[in-house]
Chains A and B, each alone.
Chain A
């Protein structure tokens, strides 16, 4: 995302630094202003300065540590098997959370690919949150696990009753 030097030289953001900004715009539907702002956020999170975020960068956000689903969400940003996410991927994930464009729902154009924030894609993202091992299915254990994460420990598991009665 531009060299470190150019970033050091200009504190104010220039559009040229964001590669493919037009493509990102088309893909995600964010406005120019929003992409710029997200880029600023991206760079402030990216302590390593190498244009990608690692898991540690996410862990640095203090509020995520007290969010029960913090780690799952973090994993959702990283594509399968990778440990780094670039700005494109970052924005792509965030684009899932845009409000649904009303007109898109109306004129269903089956040939065109759905925008990232369509209902289907949102559901897909949510599905992936549950599907922890990314096998395309939600197993019973995965559901239980997510449940445990949200509820906390005070959960009697009727299937196993060890001595402690957890």
Chain B
């Protein structure tokens, strides 16, 4: 029984005491020291990113974060994806409609009807699915390049800017896949609209 005798050195009482002391130790280390150290280092090395990647317009006003989607009710702007929370950055969430949920089908049909009304020149068969579906976060800042391109005829008509010029603008705004392979090609709607505003003429 030599081997078992060795285990008896730690009594049950001292296990609870050590457990208490290690709990407190790791509350301080992991719960206070680690996040504060991370914050300090992050603010020192990457201040712009650590504070939410805020973005300014041409007059120097902060107009939002490049990572957080915004609602553009005015049809002369490029529009982002559907957001069931109206891009409220203080919350987040999606409608969470299951594929079989009748509410989903109804919402999508309504979106298509509205699209047809606002974009009579573009056939529905060219309307990309990301433009009429709810994003996961409700804050998706991006649309696919195709979703930007199909909006060009509408914006061109409303702003009296030649389609060719808008096509170049969209092409310039396309962000590639990360490291050339990961994720999808995308267009940041807020950044695109800031560029659009610079073109003026409405």
The finding on whether chains A and B are genuine partners in a shared complex, rather than unrelated, reads no
Q: Which residues of A does B touch, CB under 8 Å? A: none
